[in-house]
Amino acid sequence: MAQKRVKVKFLSMTNDAVNLIYSSCRQCYSDKFAADVFYKKGEKNLVGHRKKEDFIKKIIKSGHESPLEHVSFSFAVEGISRACSHQLVRHRLASYSQQSQRYVRAIDFDYIIPSSIKNDSELLKVFENSIYACQEGYKRLIELFEAKGIVKERANQDARFLLPMAVETKIVVTMNCRELVHFFKVRCCNRTQWELRNLANKMLKITKEKIPCVFSLAGAKCESLGYCPEGEKFNCGKYPPGPKLK
């Protein structure tokens, strides 16, 4: 049993992403067949690629984001708590494959400690004692289940009721680019729960490296707007609040 930190690994993305987004955008504004645009010879040189990137940037700035849905990213994530993953999976335009507590026994589970607790010896003592108590209770339940002849899956699924929200989990996440842009707008915000914000920022760094023309301006809503849309009550102070609605 040990403390864990978030780790995000890039797994895959849609092949020839820039060309696919460009072709999809062009289909909306041209009488040409998108397949002809996609496979057009001579467009894979550096100059042609930059023209496509510039066109995509212009389209995104205009608010036309639907072509971004044709390209997706997959990430492997570990070192986050169940509290974090419960927030993550609320983004429903995505696919998730999460480590199961029914099939993966948590006898020696790892866990996440919030910094507010980690940096205070009094709080940390209470937290770690509680984690230890949960672990010991989980182990004891598993032992009793096995002594009573209850099969492993049933034992795991019922004993997991003792596991804390701090328990570490692993998950594979797939989102298309349009959903990722939205995800970053709301989850890179300073008011987002710190653990999910850390995860979002790590994912954002990867996408910026892979497709900068799509994600160079991605991030918290205030970054692109120049003001905080949350209003005065929920403003973190990074940007001034937006105009009041009449």
Residue 95 has a CB neighbour count (10 Å cut-off) of: 11
CA–CA separation, 239 vs 207, rounded Å? Answer: 24
Tell me if 176 sits within 8 A of 186, measured CB to CB: no
**Are 21 and 65 spatial neighbours (Cβ–Cβ below 8 Å)?**
no
**Could you give the 3-state DSSP secondary structure of residue 98?**
strand
Tokens 């701090």 identify what position? 166
Which strand ranges, in their side-by-side order, compose the sheet holding 94-98?
7-13, 72-81, 168-176, 94-98
Return the bridge partners of 175, or none: 73, 94
Opening angle at CA 227, ends 225 and 231, nearest 5: 125
Positions annotated as catalytic residues are 187
- CA nearest 10: which of 206, 212, 174, 176? 206
Q: Which backbone phi and psi does 216 adopt, to 5 degrees?
A: -60, -30
How many residues appear in the chain?
246
